[in-house]
Structure 1
Amino acid sequence: MSEITLLNGERFKKDTLIDLLREDEFYYGYMAKAALSSSSIKMLHQSPKKYKFVTDYGSPDSQALRDGWLFHTAILEPDVFNDQIFVDVQSKNTKKYKEALAEHGKVFTQKEKRDAERLADAFLRNEQALRLLDNSEFEVPACGMIGGYPFRAKADVLGKNKIVDLKTTTDIKGFPYSARKYGYDIQVYIYCELFNVPYTDFKFGVMDKGTLDIAIYDVSEEFYNEGKRKTHEAIEVFKTFFIHGADLDNYCLTGTL
């Protein structure tokens, strides 16, 4: 049975590690520093300084991330969605919201709930979108080695000959541009490697938060290869600054205009 050595030197049998990764606390807590992921590779490709800061101090929970998480859970994990604490307030700055946040640690507004339900309802009414979910498992974890380093991933939807990632956007026709801007090509490469699926089996199911339009995007070989290139460039950055100990203060970009 194969073993995986994590960034902190701990060793796990792969099957044991995958079982542990099913728990959000382990996946997003312990493993956040013990393995690389598509999110960390995106940061490393953007800036090793950003990667270090977020790894050390975390990152703020943006509204886009909150909305995306609720959309995902409303579709893929409705029991989890229904278990959330929703506060009936007009603003997160109200005393009632702050008291609920202090008591429960993670809360949402009723407006956020209604918005997520609106998106999920539109998605689940669309026959083509529903086919993305047919005969599949949801929130499936994976782990493995890429370039000699441990990686983790969690597929929104995994089925026979398909892996699907759900996204929300404010401009569905501009999604091909956004997919490159936000490093979704990196995600495609890493997920294909860890789940051992070809890029031709990867699809994005995209929901426009304004119009409720839905788009389903396949992945090209060029998009996959671009993600592969970026991933291995980022791994080299990781090795330079976080394995070999190069001075981050001396990190400097160069170029010609």
Structure 2
Amino acid sequence: MITTLDNKIWDKKEILDNMYNDEFYYGYLGKNALSSSSLKMLIQSPKTYKYVTKYGSGESQALRDGKLFHTMILEPHKIDDLVIVDVATKAGKAYKEAKEQGLEVYTSKELKDAERLADALLRNDEAVSYMNKAHFEVPAISMIDGIPFRAKADILKGNTIIDLKTTTGLNEFRYSASKYSYDLQAYLYREMFGVDNFVFVAIDKGSLDIGIFECSDEFYESGKRKLEQGIANYKYFFGEEEIDLNQYVLRGIL
């Protein structure tokens, strides 16, 4: 059984079936389960976690680019459901009007950029080999230390999860992995899906170079420590006796 943060008890199969619906996964579970993304916020700033959970967060251009690229590779059948407006920027009138209707809107330039990345990735035999006889966008949910966690694997193939990333500098991907806590994602997903291996396939948005990065034991251990820290922060700030975040300060000596 799974108990979400609103104290609703779910049959695990039932909630997994619902997780294929994006509105349920990102909407309901976005507020009522933790994830690798929410743990990153809890580690960096409990105030940010509380605000984003309550009000949501705007999409950065990097997130928009990554989401469209993922859709093209993993769920190409959904491209036809998107609204593509032929404007140069999101400041265009047609784009704003479509957004006001609550539609998922991209500019023709964003679409062209994503097509360029997808085409480059799909021309690479090694990258494509990870997708053969694999499952895409696979959800998982688990109780860890009494807290519900949600996850969705880009690609699940046998005993390996493959995660697609876009980057502005492939040579700095190791730095990005640390900065954006990819180690936390790798460890958490490995635990939730019960697999041994986690691989990042990254594509440079400029050069179109492709990098394939496996994870070391040290990388997983670093992710484990972050998972434990994130859970500790959640329990401290948002447990039974919720802390007044207005009184929360960081202390240090310079």
Same fold (TM over 0.5): yes
Of 216, 227, 231, the residue aligned with 1:231 is 227
Dislocated runs of 4+, deviation >6 Å: none
Residue pair 2:6, 2:32 contacting (<8 A) in 1 also: yes
Q: May I ask how many residue pairs the two structures share in their alignment?
A: 253
Instruction: Find the residue that maps to 2:242 and give its secondary structure.
Output: coil
Distance 1:86 1:125 in 2: 25
> Quick check: 1:255 aligned with 2:252?
yes
> Quick check: 1:71 aligned with 2:85?
no
Distance 2:24 2:185 in 1: 20
Deviations 1:218-251 (CA, angstroms, capped at 9, x unpaired): 0011111111101111111111111131221222
2:108 matched to which residue of 1?
110
Q: What's the TM-score once normalised by structure 1's chain length?
A: 0.96
> Quick check: 1:211 aligned with 2:207?
yes
Distance 2:79 2:63 in 1: 15
Distance 2:251 2:190 in 1: 32
Distance 2:155 2:4 in 1: 25
- Gap runs ≥5 in structure 1: none
Distance 2:250 2:218 in 1: 26
Deviations 1:168-202 (CA, angstroms, capped at 9, x unpaired): 0000010011001001111111101110112xx11
Residue pair 1:147, 1:232 contacting (<8 A) in 2 also: no
Cα root mean square deviation, aligned: 1.0
Residue pair 1:38, 1:187 contacting (<8 A) in 2 also: yes
Of 163, 168, 188, the residue aligned with 1:170 is 168
2:190 matched to which residue of 1?
192
Q: Percent sequence identity over matched residues?
A: 55
1:97 matched to which residue of 2?
95
Deviations 1:71-125 (CA, angstroms, capped at 9, x unpaired): 0011111111232110001221121221222235221000000000000000000
2:155 matched to which residue of 1?
157
Instruction: Find the residue that maps to 1:108 and give its secondary structure.
Output: strand
Distance 2:174 2:230 in 1: 22
2:236 matched to which residue of 1?
240
Distance 1:15 1:66 in 2: 31
Distance 1:38 1:81 in 2: 26
